[in-house]
Amino acid sequence: MRASLEAHLGSRQVARVVYGSIIGLSLVVALGGHPPGPAAMIGWLLGTAVSVGLAELYSEVVGVETNTRRRVSRGQLRHMLEDAAGVSFGVAFPAVFFLLALVGLCSLEAAFTLAK
């Protein structure tokens, strides 16, 4: 487990997950003043994760193709998909806490606190 964690922390995905986490945290903080229900929060977080991940992928593809004046190769696309998945994971992760609230394992207030 320790070796796996160290390998992950040394990977390029860490920055992407942190970037996504900042976006997810921003959403949680913005909606915390007038909190929607847990199901709505899950929907907001997952929808944001998908849209930010797709925007990340699209911008990378356009940027590389514009810069190189060539189509993106499969290998490049794979790395771009991994990066986009890292961002999406970071955004979506707080949904876990709202899922706990949805099934009654914690309160909505606790879910917001844990998500922050």
Task: For residue range 97-106, list pLDDT tens digits in order.
Answer: 999 999 999 9
Q: Is residue 5 included in any domain, yes or no? A: no
Is residue 2 included in any domain, yes or no?
no
Does the pLDDT of residue 4 top 70, yes or no? Answer: no
Q: Is residue 50 part of a domain?
A: yes
The DSSP element (H or E) to which 16 belongs, if any, is helix 13-32
Domain count, the chain: 1
> Tokens at residue 116, please?
């922050």
- Residue 82 within a domain: yes
Where in the sequence is the domain holding 61, given as residue range(s)?
A: 13-115
The two three-digit tokens of residue 94, written as one number: 């707080």
Full DSSP string of 19-70: HHHHHHHHHHHHHHSS---HHHHHHHHHHHHHHHHHHHHHHHHHHHHHHHSS
Q: Is 89 part of a structural domain of the chain? A: yes
pLDDT tens per residue across span 14-67: 889 999 999 999 999 999 999 999 999 999 999 999 999 999 999 999 999 999
In a domain, residue 104? The reply is yes
In one-letter notation, the amino acid at residue 80 is: M
Q: Is residue 59 part of a domain?
A: yes
